Structure formats: structure tokens, C-alpha cells
Amino acid sequence: MTSRGRAVTGVVGVAVATAGLAVALGPLSGVMLVLGLALVASTAWLGPRGARVVGTLLGTLVVFGVARAAWNPVVGAVLAVVFGVLAFRSLPTMVMRRIAFLVPSLVVLIFTTTLLMYRAPGSPFAQERVATPQVEAALRAHYGVPKSATAFFGIYMKRLVVDGTLGPSIKVQGRSVEQLLAPALPVSMTLGLLALVIATVTGLALGLRAGLEPNSPADYASMGLVLVGVSLPSFVIGAALMIVFALKLGVLPVAGWGGYKHLVMPAVTLALPYSAYIARLARGGTIEVMQQDFVRTARAKGASERDVVLRHALRGAILPVVSFLGPAAAGILTGSFVVETLFDVPGVGQWFVRGAINRDYSVVLGTAILYASLVTGFNLLVDLAYAWLDPRVRGQP
Amino acid sequence: MDRTLLGIFTALGGALLLVGLTFSRSVDAPADLRFNNGTEPKTLDPHLMTGQPEHRLASALFEGLVRRDAKSMRPAPGVAKSWDVSPDGKRYTFHLRDDARWSDGHPVTASDFVYSWKRLLDPKIASEYAYIISQVRYAEALNTYDGHAESLETAMAKALAALAAANQSGVPGKEWQKFLSKNRVNDPLRGQNDPTLNELLVRRDGVVTRAELEWMQGATKGIAGDLRRQAAEARAHFGVDGGIIAVDPHTLVVELRAPTPYFMELLTFYPTMPVPRWLVENPKRRDDWFLPEHIVANGPYVLKRWLVNDHMRLERSETYWGKEQVKSRAVDVLVSDNDTTVLNMYLTHAIDWDPEQYPRELGKELRRRDDFVLTPGMIVYFYKINTTRPPFDDRRVRKALNLAIDRKAIVERILGLGQIVAKTFVPPGIPGYVPPASAVETNPEAARALLAAAGFPGGKGFPEVGILYNTNQGHKTIAEYVADQLRKNLGIKANAYNQEWQSYLETVRSLDYDIARAGWVGDYADPNTFLDILVTNGGNNQTGWSSSLYDRLVQSAADVGPVVANPESLLAELQNGDAVRTLVNAVRNAASPTDGLAAQAKLRMQLLQEAEGVLVRDEFPIIPLYFYVTANFVSPKLRGFYTTLHFDDGTTGPNLMDDHPLRDIWVDHEASP
């Protein structure tokens, strides 16, 4: 498409979107949302130098904010300056572009999430026993949750930028959302990492084995196993493990958190579906790569079968797995509600669901921000890994 | 080795190392007692909490003037070592023990209670349970009158003006009631002694004229001013020379508006517990003073650790006056809300006590176990009827619904844990209370006749009925059964439908339903805690139902004085006032103040019984279904745990409140399993 054509399509699209959103959400929210989206989209037009400048600026701000919340403003300032200088001088443009994109999209994310939350019936202060209007008004004022979504957005952004906090939780009082997520994140990450390792190792092994000899009994056996892993929901797998290892054999604790023994069942439960998915991807990748010319060439050169598999097939098998691992890692590291509830693991996954059920607005936003940052971050990692793994991608901007 | 392989192994190895490193959490000595507390408490501030899990923690960490004795649930000495009651039953003098200490060593004094009760009533902290001490002199004025005046002066004045402007020729009664309910006027206007006003508030038929609307505008303004005056008076006196008074550091006087037989029981309830003034007033600690790193409390345990969604560790307090009686050194409080997991933890001895959590579908199976203890509870399961929506505004229709349902089948076939069929609203077992004769029964024949009389013979022409419940398998089964009963017995089309909790609350609150599932847990063993919710426009009424007789009966029970002085107008409204008349005479002719008090208590219960009679004999704004049983898995090694209470007079009874103070529970690790 020509640049003029693109511009026309863009203008028409924006106009239609604005009108639609203004009708659906009310004029103020609709216009604000379109402006926000435009801001996010505009980061795509940044040139390499522009991306560098904007990315550094926004990145510095984020580093300052996070470090200030974690330690104090002085450390925040020092870290921010160090990051800014290093980033501007040595980070690849691809990374800077991501940062320039991430920050405005988080703002839009917060706004959209706020609108959606306020559309859901109920409020964080609704209880079975009805509070008087005065009590509710006092609570709303205290927690900074006014009745209008846009007013809440204003308060939330001010809290986030000026005070550097994700706001107080209403259902777990006395703690801010960052105080809730901070101890939960390492728990989910520990479990997630372990599950990821289990999933990758078993998945790759099964997939590779199946892909090297497609349609052999080994292939059918592996893929049959995979089918079980994909189709059994984790609450069934978890419950089955619990019955066997905790109730019947008594070798593992039923649930809880605190010792290495507590890790085993949740990690395996969490890993199984991912493992199955990875196995399928790896099988497909292997089959494809084994038919490539360079594999034939390698064989012609007299490379041993072991070499062919390890040097060439593995690489081909891994590529689709790596692109899957990015978003999968973001998902698996932020925990799973089902597994965490089943095994009583104090991780982040519970907050995603509890926040929404309780209408605990700040918790909902906090988890949304966390998840969005992780997804963007891991996608970036995947891009970098691709550049490193696949010569064809290297060198592209 | 190949670069790819090396990379993969490095990444995996690094990940495993990270797992190992992050997983270096110190594990401390196992607790003596471990139990699952259900949900994560919202707060540990006794003035702001609500709910059973919170109650267990509050009475472990704090102690009020009195506490519940584990064996009898009767008030036992807490911070107060003894107390006297004045002959008129309105003045309590508490003698505080010298050795009551906060966990930081401060002595617990009478002024701590004065401060704490003032805080509880402060509208700014927005305590949901402040009303629990509304029988204390000045308390209600302090807590609510300014807010009421505010809403009368602003929202109500505006709404009335708009209503008057829009209806030049007056407002039809039905619309008027809708207006009152929407603007929630009952709270501010309740208990005014103005017959014109009280008549207007319950007018449902006819028209509210323009002149009356104007009169109402003037009257609310006057009432608002009056409320403000009373609030100012309460502020000047409460805690100084009225309501609650610290006579000296160890003597506390509490004055009541009227004799309240269950008052001592209220003092075991967490809202009346003291909080450490120096901590809660620290502006930095205002919101998080109860976290383990800051908390100072005066109960049998101190909070050592609180990992959200994981567990809490309580340890015996070294400053507690009765620490010799506390046999558990350390208690772990778990917070899983997954029924299956909790049951499995109990079965593998990971916890010693599991209150209430087990997969409901296994109930009948589990009932065979000796350690699964079922006790009747102070909880009623019922359906609310939206009486503002025709045809449910017709009491014959409401009665027909009540008669069409086979409750015995619900209790025996669906539930099967010994739940009790509810023909009344107040659960059985409250000492001194006799339930009224109820018209609630299973009688499809009579139900059909009533429906025909209301103009729907055989259910013909009856609109489709929706039965709303909050998403839950148990509620679903019952709702579908009831819908089926209505179809079969009355010939009306009924559908059960569900909404997720928050939406359900909103729908019921805004009266956007036909029939809705509800439950109510008693806060204390007195009918008042149930009957109070159905007064006209009460926040928890949510049926749109209103009866001036019912309101008067409930209000008279709170203070029998006016009825004793002038019983005739009330007696005229009662179908059969003989019992009330006899009791009024007994109060009047009492030989001594003690006899007088006892007679007043009896009269009070009679008035409450008459009120409940209005519900289940005449008006039927609700469909009571059954009374809950509470369930506990109790390890055979657990001691000091009583589901059957033993009273001083040698009698026994069920632990209706399902309260088991952690102070007195311990695990006998020596006992054979």
C-alpha cells in the first residue's frame, strides 16, 4: 500500500473507531481511548534514532519508578541514570522500540481495564450485609475508588506516577498491591521455571523421538501420550497425582508451600499440558527440518546420524518451540489459578481470579500490568533468541 | 559440543539453579495446632472485620471485657474480672483485672475501651458492625445521626423537590413506596415519634397529595436539624459522662438505653474489643497496624507471621493474663478455600481441625465418620420474594408459594446432613424464645386454592417466575427443585437462574428479581438478629416488603418501656393480644426490680414472637426453607473443643454459634490416634 493509501485508511479507521467507542462508552472515554491507541500506534513510525530517544526516556522513567518503589528515590535516580546511559549507548534498537511501545500501551491497558471493570456489576464494597450510604462513601473516599471510571483512572495514574504505588488492596487490607504480588511472584516463578524445565526436556525428547521416525510405533506411542497430556485438564491430573502420591502412598504432602516436596506435584501438573504442546511442535519442526537440503548435504558429507540429529534436527525442532515458549513462559511464570488453588500455592495466579471476583480494582490492574509487561518482555527475549538461533533472521532490524 | 545444545543446557541449568536459590525459605518448628480457616481475612482490625474466619482470629489476638467460655459459650471473665448490673438493668459496672496487658507491656485500662468504642462508632472509620452496640446510650446518635441528617438535607431534599415538581396532583402509593425504597429513607426517619410521618412512610394505597409532599419536605428539614442536635449532644457526652465512662483505670461503666438481655453476649463479639490507641492513631500505621511487624494486641496469642494465601503463625502471648490456660504454644492458620484440598489435608493429618470445608457431594458419605461432627447452627436458608412486583404484592400468592414446596424432601433427599426444615425464620434453640405458630407447611391443595383466589386458577395467567441464586452447585440443586415444585404443584412456569456473587448482590439490592435465594447468619443468640433485617426499607430487607405492625413490634422489643406505659394502641393491632397483655401486666405488677427485669425479658421475647408471626402467619415476604447444620472435622486428638455445650445447671445443648475459641483448643500429641 502507498503511504497516502495508508494514511487515508488510518484516518477513516480512526474516525469510525472513535464514533463507535464514543457511542459505546460515552464521549469522554471513547475519545480518550482512541487518543491512547493512536499514541501507541504512533510509536511504530519512530525512526531508529527516535525509538532510541523515546525508549531511553520511557525506560529511564520506568526504572526510576520501580526502583523507587522497591528501595528509595535516591537509588531510583541513580539506577535510572545508569540504565539510561547504558541503554542509549548499547541496547539494540529492537529493544528500545519495544520499550517505546510498551509504556504507552500499558497506559491504554490500564484505561481499558478500568472501563471494563466498571462495567461489571457490583463494586468492591458490596457485601452481603448492606452498608449505609455514608459508610460506602467513606470507604470509597478512603480507598480512592470513586463511582466514575475516568475519575478512578485519574486517581490510579496519579498514584502510579507520583506516588509510585499500585494502590491499596480493598479485600486484603493493610497491604498495597505490590506488597501482595511481590512475595507471590517468586513463588509462581519458582514453580513456573521448574515446570518449564520439565516441559521443555520431556517435550523436546518426545517430539524429537517421534519426529525422527514419523508414523513408527515410537511416534504413535509418544503422540498418544501427548494426546493424554493435552486433553486432560490440570484439575484432573492434579487430583490423580494427589490421590496416588499423597493419599495412597503418603510420600508427598497434599498441598501447601514451604519444602521441596511441596514443589513436585504442582510442577508436574503445571508442566504436563505444556510438555504435550511442545512435543507436538518439536515433532513438526523435526519432520520439516529432516527433509531440508542441508540435512541431505550433511548426510552426504558423511556426518554421523548422531551429529545430524544434534546439530541440525534439534535446531529445526527448537525454532517453533522457542516462539511458543515466549508467551508460554509469561503464562506459566505468572502462575495458574487452577494449580495454585488445588495445591494451595501462594502464587500470583490466584490474584488474577480473586481480583476479578472481588472487584478489587487495584489488584486487577496490578495483575494486568504485570502480565502485559511479562508478555512483552518474553516476546522480546524470543526475538533475541531467534536472532541467535536462526541465521535467516539475523541482521534484520 | 554443539552451540545449540550447550545453550539449551545452560538455560535449563540456570533455570534450575534459580529455582533452588529462590526456594531457600526458612522452615520453622511445626505448630502444636494446625487448622484451616477458610478464607483470607480482609483485615485484623476488630472494628472493621466481618465474618467467621475473622472472628476466630480476633478472639485469639484480642480480648474484650468478657469472652465466650469454650464449654458453655456463656460470658466468662476476660479483661473484666467481674461485673455488676444495676437493678433497672441499664447500668453495667465492669471491674477490670490489674494484670491485663497489651503485648508491648502497656496495661489494658478502662480508657482503652472508651477510646475503642468511640473509634468503633466514628462514622469516618466506617465500621459495618458499629450498630452492634447501638443499645448503648448515645451510640446510635454518635454513629449515624450526622450521616442521616446529611442525606436528609441533601439527597432526600433534592429528590422530594423533584418528585413534587414532577407530580402536581400527588403521587400514587405504589410509586411513593418505590421512591422511599430507592432513597433509603427508612434509616434516617426510623423511630421518629410522629404519627403523620409514620403513616406516610407506610402508605401503599391511595395517593400522597401535593400538600403532604410539601409537609414532608418541611418535616425532613426539621428532623435533620434535630438529628444534628442529638449527634452533637452525643459527641459531648459519650465517653465523658454517658454511654461508656472510665471511672478509674480499672472501673468501667456502660449505660444502656433499655435493658438488653443479650448485652453481655455482645461483649464477646469482636467489634467491642479494644485496639491500641497509640498505634491506630499513628498516621503511618492507620491502615496496616495489624500486620505482624506492627501489631500490638491483648489476647491469648500474638501474630508472628502472616503470609497472604499461605498461612499465619500465632504464638502464645507472654503478656496474656491467663497464659497458663493457653495450652497451644504455636498455632498455624491455613487459608485454603478449596474444599477437596482441605479435606485431603485433614485426612493426611496435615491439619487437626477443618471447619466447614469438604466437597458437598460427599456429605452423605462422610457422615459415617466419627470425626465429622454436625451441629445445628444459627443460620437460616430462605428465599426472598420481591413484593413490589405483581403478582407477588398479593399475600395470597406469597402464601401459596410457601405452601407449595416440600421442604422435607430438600432436607432429606438433597441435603441429607440433618438440616432442619424451616417453618419459621428464626432458627430453633435460642434460650427463652418460643417460635410462633406458623402457617408454613406443605399443602399443595391449599396452595392451589389460594392461587385461584388470587386470580390464577391452575396457575393460568401467572407470569413466568425467575428464581435467582448466586452461582453454587448446592444452591442450584435446591433452586431447580423448588422451580419444579412450583411447576408441579401450582402450574406456574418457574426457572432457576444464577448470577456470580457480586452481580447477584447488585440484582437483589436493586429489587430486580422475582424470587431470590438468601441466607442469614445470626450474630448472637437472639431472634432480634434475624427479625431486624425485615423492617421497612432496612438495608438487608431487599424484598420491598413493609408492615407497620411488624416494625412496631421489632422496635418495641428493643425497648419495652413505651409498650408497658401505653400498650393499648399496639394491642388493638394484634389479632390476639392476650399474651402481650398478660406480660405487660406482669411487668407493671412486678414485686421487685429483679422480677421486673425478668418480666420485661419475657415481654420482649413475646413481642419478637408476635413479629415473627407476622412473617410466617400473615404476610410471607420470605420462603423459609431450612436451618443449616455446621460441620467440623475434628481430630480425635483435639481437646477443649465443644460442639455440645455443658451448662452450669448440668444441662447440655448444641453449640449454636459454632464458636470454638482458639484460646482453649489444643492437640493432645500423646493420645493414640
**ipTM of the assembly?**
0.81
Mean per-residue pLDDT of chain B: 90
The secondary structure element, H or E, covering residue A34 is helix A27-42
Instruction: Please check whether residue A323 touches B, CB under 8 A.
Output: no
Considering only residues 68 to 107 of chain A, which have any Cβ-Cβ distance to chain B shorter than 8 Å? none
Phi, psi (degrees; rounded to nearest 5) at B264 = -60, -35
- pLDDT for B256: 96
pLDDT tops 90 at residue B46:
yes
Task: Considering only residues A1 and A241, tell me which one the structure prediction assigns the higher pLDDT.
Answer: A241
Interface list for B 165-194 with A (CB within 8 A): 184, 187
Instruction: State which of B21-25, B161-165, B529-533 shows the largest mean pLDDT.
Output: B529-533
Confidence of residue B423 (pLDDT cuts 50, 70, 90): very high
Identify whether the C-beta of residue B67 lies closer than 8 Å to the C-beta of residue B59. yes
Residue B36, all three cell numbers: 484451616
Query: Which chain A residues in 115-144 lie under 8 Å from chain B, judged by CB atoms?
Result: 120-123, 126-136, 138-139, 142
Contact state of A246 with B15 under an 8 Å Cβ cutoff: no
Tell whether the model's pLDDT for residue A266 goes beyond 60.
Answer: yes
Which three cell numbers mark A36? 491512547
Q: What is d(CA A22, CA A16) in angstroms, rounded to the nearest whole number?
A: 10
Distances in Å between the Cα of B443 and the Cα atoms of A100, B406, B439, B450, B451 are 72, 8, 10, 11, 12
Percentage of chain B lying above the pLDDT 70 cut: 96
Interface mutation vs chain B, best among A119, A123, A127, A130, most B CBs within 10 Å: A130
Of the listed ranges A310-314, B259-263, B286-290, B576-580, the least confidently predicted one is A310-314
Give burial (CB, 10 Å; 0-12/13-18/19+) of B358.
buried
Cβ within 8 Å of B, A 252-281: 253-260, 263
A247-252: average pLDDT: 90
pLDDT digits (tens, 9 = 90+) for B262-289: 999 999 999 999 999 999 999 888 889 9
- The residue among A344, A350, A359, A388 with the most chain B CBs within 10 A of its CB, best to mutate, is A344
Per the CB < 8 A criterion, the answer to whether B354 and B345 are in contact is yes
Residue A123 CB partners (closer than 8 Å, separation 6+): A145, A359, B502
Of the two residues B494 and B185, the one the predictor is more confident about is: B494
Question: How many residue pairs from chains A and B have C-beta atoms closer than 8 A?
Answer: 177
Lowest mean pLDDT among A298-302, B24-28, B308-312, B644-648: B24-28
pLDDT > 90: what percent of chain B? 63
- CA gap A266, A253 in Å, rounded: 11
| DSSP state string for B381-446 | EEEEE-TTSTTTTSHHHHHHHHHT--HHHIIIIII-S--EE-SSSSPS--TT--PPP------HHH
List chain A residues with CB under 8 Å of B152.
none
* Mean pLDDT score across all residues of chain A: 84
pLDDT digits (tens, 9 = 90+) for A361-371: 999 999 999 88
- Cell numbers given for B241: 459522662
* Contacting residues for B390 by C-beta, under 8 A, at least 6 apart: none
Contact A138 B307 (CB under 8 A): no
Q: Does B26 touch chain A (CB under 8 A)?
A: no
DSSP state of B545: -
What mean pLDDT comes out for the span A252-271? 88
Alpha helices per DSSP H over B23-73: 52-61
Q: Which of A122, A196, A247 sits opposite B503 (nearest CB)?
A: A122
pLDDT > 70: percent of chain A: 96
pLDDT for B186 beyond 80: no
pLDDT of residue A391: 63
Q: What CA–CA distance (Å, rounded) separates B424 from B380?
A: 9
pLDDT in tens, B139-173: 999 998 998 898 888 888 888 888 888 888 888 88
State residue A47's pLDDT score: 83
Cross-strand pairs, B334: B36, B311
Q: Taking 50 as the threshold, does the pLDDT of residue A73 lie above it?
A: yes
Q: Does residue B178 surpass a pLDDT of 90?
A: no
Q: What are the tens digits of pLDDT across the range B210-255?
A: 888 888 888 889 999 999 999 999 999 999 999 999 999 999 999 9
CB proximity B17 to A under 8 Å: no
Q: Does B14 touch chain A (CB under 8 A)?
A: no
Nearest to A172 among B7, B40, B542 (CB): B40
Residue of A90 and B512 predicted with greater confidence? B512
Short-list A252, A345, A182, A257, CA closest to B27? A257
Average pLDDT over residues B549-566: 91
Chain B window 260-289: which residues touch A at a Cβ cutoff of 8 Å? 287-289
Helix, strand, coil share (%) of chain A residues, nearest 5:
80, 0, 20
Q: What is the pLDDT of residue A393?
A: 60
Check if A314 contacts B (Cβ < 8 Å): yes
The rounded distance, in Å, linking the Cα atoms of B289 and B283 is: 10
Q: Could you report the per-residue pLDDT of B99-153, keeping only the tens digit for each?
A: 999 999 999 999 999 999 999 999 888 888 888 999 999 999 999 899 889 888 8
Comparison of pLDDT for B70 and B51, the residue scoring more:
B70
Cell, residue B323: 497464659
Per-residue model confidence (pLDDT) at position B1 = 45
Q: What is the pLDDT of residues A92-107, one digit of tens each?
A: 887 888 888 888 888 8
Best of B309, B310, B379 to substitute, by most chain A Cβ atoms within 10 angstroms, is B309
Q: Which residues of B touch A389 (CB under 8 A)?
A: 4, 7
Which one of A123, A134, A252, A315 would you mutate to disrupt binding with B, by most B Cβ within 10 Å of its Cβ? A134
What per-residue confidence (pLDDT) applies to B306?
92
CA-wise closest residue to A197 among B20, B13, B22, B24? B13
- Count how many residues are written for chain B: 673
Taking the C-alpha atoms of residue B531 and residue B380, their distance in angstroms, rounded to an integer, is 12
- The pLDDT-based confidence of A306 (bands split at 50, 70, 90) is confident
